[in-house]
Amino acid sequence: MNAEIITIGDELMRGEIVDSNKARIAERLLLHDLDCRHQVSVLDDPADMRDAFLRASRRSDFVLVSGGLGPTRDDMTTEVLAETFGRKLELHPPSLAAIEAFFARIGREMADTNRKQAFFPEEADVLENPIGTAPGFSIEAARSGGREGEETRPGHAVFFAMPGVPRELDRMMDEQVIPRIGVRLAEFSGGREKQVVRAALLATFGMGESTLEAELGDLMRDGNVELGFRTSFPDNFLRPVARAATIEEADAKIAEAVTAIRERIGDVVYGEGTDTMESVVGRELANRGLTIATAESCTGGLIAERLTDVPGSSAYFLGGVVSYSNEAKIAMLGVPAAVIESEGAVSEASVRAMAEGVLERFGSDFGIATSGISGPGGGTPDKPVGLVWIALATADGETHAQSFVFEVDRSRHRRLTAQVALDWIRRSMIGAELIGPSLMRRGGSGSAP
């Protein structure tokens, strides 16, 4: 059996928002061994929507639709699905009561337009939405004859219509849609042996996708595990997927694959599952009872923002200084004026003084500092655009500093610099070498602690 994803909205087609819902849905389908054969996006246009629904009904067993369930005139998913498959719309009183109760809880009067969200195609299976005003629904659609040369599968297609708001979609998928798909798959198998699918997600930093492929390709050639690669700057993610007859066998294959990957590329792997670099750093700091303070110039507080984005960060983050100007570096961090005069703000001497100054002022175990030229202007032949110095000072009196030239745009330069800084903190705690991303580095230099 296969699945298809349809996302609806003018804002998706115009590029106003990133369509993350396809990835959210597809990831969940993968865990149920469902092939997502097609992914489609359409405008809020009835003709385009109807064409997408008909095509999906002919070629897919499960069709997961996201968006178009709101109260406004351009929210037409329910009406178009009903019309496409010859269903009348009927009021669902429990849904109307739930929507009215939602507005009562937040102290707002419900607009009359919200009533439309309680109407569904006849014989629809309504999907509750406890955190929003848009219930979803499911209907079965008999397949109609396809166009010449178009594949048509036998039987019925099952449509699941869900809201486009990601957090509402996630909850409806997990609590309403996936269990129903599981029942359908069990019925389809008819007691036949069914493969179990298990997957893991490993977050890596510092090694390019092609290098990862070269390093790991031979590990997955025995057919037991498939390995997928995904890049989300500045990280690369590895997705080993195992299929087996039992849960235990599939889990064992995944565990073996993860162990082999970690042994091959070592500390390049920094987390699993939903781990982020800042959450991993925060967990290590908290577990070890250590603290951190930040001194930022080119990153403008980005490192501090990421550290404090993790719940419980007050246990280890003592504070930070955004010393963007030379005067701030001198007054707030104690960088000698003579150093800035002779070496410049973007220099080893300055960034070392920044890291050591913030360490001393906050009394932390680590002091991390950044100073660079994020561009697009401000570079010189000696100090080109993209140059950045990073320094990590520790309470035992050691300071490590290194420079990189990251030839990327301003936004990615700042993000990459912050990621290297956070990775240095992680590496320092686990006793790994303080290195930078090999793919993005050019003309860098460094000094030992």
Q: What is the mean pLDDT of the chain?
A: 90
Global pTM value:
0.75
Confidence at residue 427, expressed as pLDDT on a 0 to 100 scale? 96
Find the range with the poorest average confidence among 185-199, 373-387, 398-412.
Answer: 185-199
The percent of residues above 70 in pLDDT, for the chain, comes to 92
- Rounded to the nearest 10 degrees, the angle between the axes of helix 277-288 and helix 410-430 is 30
pLDDT surpasses 60 at 182: yes
Confidence at residue 311, expressed as pLDDT on a 0 to 100 scale? 96
Query: Mean pLDDT throughout 410-420?
Result: 97
pLDDT surpasses 90 at 159: yes
* 173 compared with 27, residue with greater pLDDT: 173
Confidence at residue 447, expressed as pLDDT on a 0 to 100 scale? 35
- Cβ distance 36 to 29 under 8 Å? yes
Confidence at residue 443, expressed as pLDDT on a 0 to 100 scale? 38
Query: Mean pLDDT throughout 42-48?
Result: 96
Q: Report helix, strand or coil for 102.
A: helix
Confidence at residue 442, expressed as pLDDT on a 0 to 100 scale? 38
Q: 281: Cβ–Cβ under 8 A, 6 or more apart, which residues? A: 292, 307, 422, 425, 426
Confidence at residue 11, expressed as pLDDT on a 0 to 100 scale? 92
Q: Show the tokens assigned to 342.
A: 């002779």
* pLDDT, tens digit (0-9, with 9 covering 90-100), for 424-443: 999 999 999 998 776 444 33
Tell me the C-alpha distance between 301 and 406, whole Å.
19
Q: With cut-offs at 50, 70 and 90, classify the pLDDT of residue 449.
A: very low
Find the range with the poorest average confidence among 84-88, 110-114, 313-317.
Answer: 110-114
- Cβ distance 428 to 434 under 8 Å? yes
101-107 long-range contacts, CB within 8 A, separation 24+: 102/132, 102/133, 103/133
Confidence at residue 211, expressed as pLDDT on a 0 to 100 scale? 87
* pLDDT, tens digit (0-9, with 9 covering 90-100), for 119-140: 999 999 999 999 989 999 999 9
Query: Mean pLDDT throughout 159-188?
Result: 91
Confidence at residue 226, expressed as pLDDT on a 0 to 100 scale? 86
Confidence at residue 441, expressed as pLDDT on a 0 to 100 scale? 41
- Cβ distance 51 to 58 under 8 Å? no
pLDDT surpasses 50 at 445: no
Confidence at residue 154, expressed as pLDDT on a 0 to 100 scale? 64
Query: What is the sign, positive or negative, of the torsion defined by CA atoms of 207, 212, 214, 218?
Result: positive
* pLDDT, tens digit (0-9, with 9 covering 90-100), for 49-91: 999 999 999 999 999 999 999 999 899 999 999 999 999 999 9
Q: For the CA atoms of the chain, what is the radius of gyration? A: 27
* CA angle, residues 233, 236, 242, in degrees to nearest 5: 145
- 175 DSSP 8-state letter: I
> What does the chain come to in residues?
449
Confidence at residue 193, expressed as pLDDT on a 0 to 100 scale? 55
pLDDT surpasses 70 at 301: yes
Tokens 């909850």, located at residue: 171
Confidence at residue 156, expressed as pLDDT on a 0 to 100 scale? 84
Q: Show the tokens assigned to 224.
A: 């037991």
Among the listed residues 236, 224, 291, 244, the one whose alpha carbon sits nearest the alpha carbon of residue 265: 236
